[in-house]
Structure 1
């Protein structure tokens, strides 16, 4: 079996969900933290930390050093790097040859295919080829609000990733549009309706597993989902259309496709071929996505049969606290604030960090330990 190398410090909720899965299934894993303030130090998984990298710095030389460290301590030959974030995945793909030469696996597809799926504009165009609905596009800035501005290609600096943004006023546009060129972006209508994630694992043999979640509360301006529940939308025909699309491309790996359901029509918003934030729902709702991922990448030899559970909550209270603390508004999808308040105690049972292995994170994010007292 392979040992897993995890780079923490970004996409924390997804990474912690995978750490829990690895612990439950006796998968060997080591963590390299992102600077000294990495959230992982506030978890039980800090015992798996082998090194701390300079904040937001990554190099192939350092990766080879970390891998050699794992080999010496675990005796494994092949190390598997968890494809956890967009930045990391693109870095790994760009250094695929060097990684393969050193017996390092990532489970990622090739560079051109990854970019076709992950870049917003190219995937939107591919969906059109498969008769999948996408938002209406504009050739110039619309006079009516809201609408969406999306970068055609992935862009990042050391401090910021250029993400799609919702424009609700002239003030929003002026703030976002500084030093930008329209040829590098495209404009889409803002689609109302239910928000749904179709969650896939495409195996190397061409088969795939698919599940779904309905998103109920989201952070400001298209931020992270803070309340979701497992659903049966993957039983709709739309999931088969995306299945045909990805299999036609010979894609393998994890991928989340966001769609909106408006006037009985599913509209594709974007696709992310990596771990997604509410990955804890994979465990709690008994989805087999991590199982298929682990088997396909030789992290496990066998897995138990699972019975999928619909209407299981995923909740991240810290995401709500952070949004309100910054005097921003939450977005509610087909969900009433009153219902949230009335059923809060039941929802809280599935709070991602309100668990023994991450309790310190829960306390910090909910401002419950103003004196920064750590629970040992």
Structure 2
């Protein structure tokens, strides 16, 4: 038997918090040690059952190599594996990979060039839409912009700042946006309406994919976070063709692809090559889709108690995300009732009940 200590999962809290909580639950249930770096004294993780997993409280949101050195020292040199939940930190560790890994934190993301191609709003369109099965929304020239349209950043991170798509549904919003953005960092496309789906899953190092489909019901205004969704069957899209494009590009790891089906046409919107906000839905519905993750990261072969086929469809909600922000029903769906948001809230569980309705 090997005397090498088992690696621990390193989670950065305070960013993409719903995903962090879902992963903490899942990893603990599968007997994986978890170490958490909190974002400060006001981090929501302190109001959960996972507060005792915090090994370091960050003094600022700035990410440095020394931060990883400190975390490694706080864990007495225990092997750590970085878990990708935030685009900003993913970008940092890939740009500083040798120094971060020298600190004792393993990075199992794909190489930097592949990651940037996959995560880039513009470059990923070329990757995902070449030779089908997905279509790309029509590109518009700057002098031909008409509403509704979506102005998207070419890259998610620029000059250390996160950039986001801007939905322009009226002339005033469009005019204001064109005055304030740096056009060289953006491109513009027609706005697609239809049923919004997520293809969520894990692409293993051996090329095997496992995942599930999610139908989005309600969303924060402006194309922000999904606040109500349900698992669903494949909406008629060649999943293997989609995942093969990623595998051939050299990508491996967790990802979520947003697709809007308008009539019979599936349009590619974007991909998040990291763990996503509504992750708890997949863990509730089909936990075995993460078997490849457990194998690649921790050498474990099975999800404890997981079925190898999906169970009954499940529902996901983010209660505070729906009640503290303006939200809109997607496509022809009706907004769920207040009690449904509350019932299915990701935080409405014993381990996070103090966050229920708060964040």
Structure 1: which 5+ runs fail to align? 366-376
What secondary structure does 1:297 align onto?
helix
What secondary structure does 1:330 align onto?
strand
Q: TM-score, normalised by structure 2?
A: 0.92
Q: Structure 1 residues 148, 193: CA separation in 2 closer, same or farther (over 3 Å shift)?
A: same
What secondary structure does 1:120 align onto?
coil
Measured against aligned partners, the alpha-carbon deviations of 1:79-100 in whole angstroms (never above 9, x if no partner) come to: 1011110001011111111233
2:319 equivalent to 1:314: no
Query: 1:350: Cα distance to partner?
Result: 2.5
Matched ranges for 1:292-371 at <5 A: 292-298=292-298, 300-304=300-304, 305-306=306-307, 307-323=309-325, 328-337=326-335, 340-341=336-337, 345=339, 348-365=342-359
Query: 1:284: Cα distance to partner?
Result: 0.9
Greater mean deviation of Cα atoms: 285-294 or 345-354 = 345-354
Match of 1:26 among 23, 26, 31: 31
Query: 1:164: Cα distance to partner?
Result: 0.4
What secondary structure does 2:57 align onto?
strand
2:197 equivalent to 1:196: yes
Measured against aligned partners, the alpha-carbon deviations of 1:223-282 in whole angstroms (never above 9, x if no partner) come to: 100000011127x34312212201211211011100001111111000110010000012
Q: How many residues align?
A: 351
Q: Structure 1 residues 41, 177: CA separation in 2 closer, same or farther (over 3 Å shift)?
A: farther
Q: Structure 1 residues 157, 359: CA separation in 2 closer, same or farther (over 3 Å shift)?
A: farther
What secondary structure does 1:195 align onto?
strand
Matched ranges for 1:97-246 at <5 A: 97-131=98-132, 132-142=134-144, 144-156=146-158, 161-233=162-234, 236-246=236-246
Q: TM-score, normalised by structure 1?
A: 0.88
Matched ranges for 1:235-274 at <5 A: 236-274=236-274
| Aligned residue in 1 for 2:3 | none
What secondary structure does 1:149 align onto?
strand
Measured against aligned partners, the alpha-carbon deviations of 1:149-183 in whole angstroms (never above 9, x if no partner) come to: 0011223566x521001001222123333443323
Greater mean deviation of Cα atoms: 17-26 or 180-189 = 180-189
CA RMSD of aligned residues (A): 1.9
Query: 1:347: Cα distance to partner?
Result: 5.8
Kept in 1, the 8 Å contact 2:81–2:105? The answer is yes
2-structure distance, mates of 1:129, 1:143? 24
